[in-house]
Amino acid sequence: GQNIDQPTEMTATEGAIVQINCTYQTSGFNGLFWYQQHAGEAPTFLSYNVLDGLEEKGRFSSFLSRSKGYSYLLLKELQMKDSASYLCAVIIGDNAGNMLTFGGGTRLMVKP
């Protein structure tokens, strides 16, 4: 089976830095995505990692270690609007097709 684990909830303070971890055990790996999802809305793309290392994009950075089956999303200078669920997802597939398999999501609450 596919296992993608991330904490259920986290709380952080406005202006601070928060790190959301994700570990995965999957049969096959074609990359790891992070999505942001506000309640009742569509997930929106944040980042993609396929090689080991850190990808930085503005206030958001994502790290991947394939040998450890581990990724994290780093959010800097937190803003109230960053309160949302953050979804870790692994793309698994072969020539026949692929599926983006999601973890349960981490609900982040940013407090003043």
Partner 1 sequence: DSGVTQTPKHLITATGQRVTLRCSPRSGDLSVYWYQQSLDQGLQFLIQYYNGEERAKGNILERFSAQQFPDLHSELNLSSLELGDSALYFCASSVADGVGYGYTFGSGTRLTVV
Per CB under 8 A, does 69 bind partner 1?
A: no
Q: Please, what sign has the CA dihedral across residues 52, 57, 59, 60?
A: negative
Give the one residue of 79, 93, 109, 111 binding partner 1; rule: CB under 8 A: 93
Determine how β-strand 32-37 pairs with β-strand 84-94. antiparallel
Q: Which two tokens stand for residue 47?
A: 């980042």
**Distance of alpha carbon 66 from its chain centroid, rounded?**
14
Specify the stretch interacting with partner 1 by CB under 8 A; choose among 16-24, 53-61, 74-82, 91-99. Answer: 91-99
* Nearest by Cα to 12 from 83, 65, 66: 83
Asked whether position 100 contacts partner 1 by CB under 8 A, the answer is yes
- Please tell me whether residue 42 binds partner 1 under the rule CB under 8 A: yes
| Residue 30 interacts with partner 1 (CB under 8 A): yes or no | yes
CB of 67 to partner 1, least distance (A): 20
How far is it, in rounded angstroms, from Cα 62 to Cα 21? Answer: 10
Return d(Cα 83, Cα 15) in angstroms, integer. Answer: 12
**Residue 60 sits in the site that holds partner 1 (CB under 8 A):** no
- Our CB check for partner 1 shows the closer of 10 and 100 to be 100
The residues that touch partner 1, with contacts defined as CB under 8 A, are: 30-31, 33, 40-45, 48, 50, 87, 89, 91, 93, 96-105
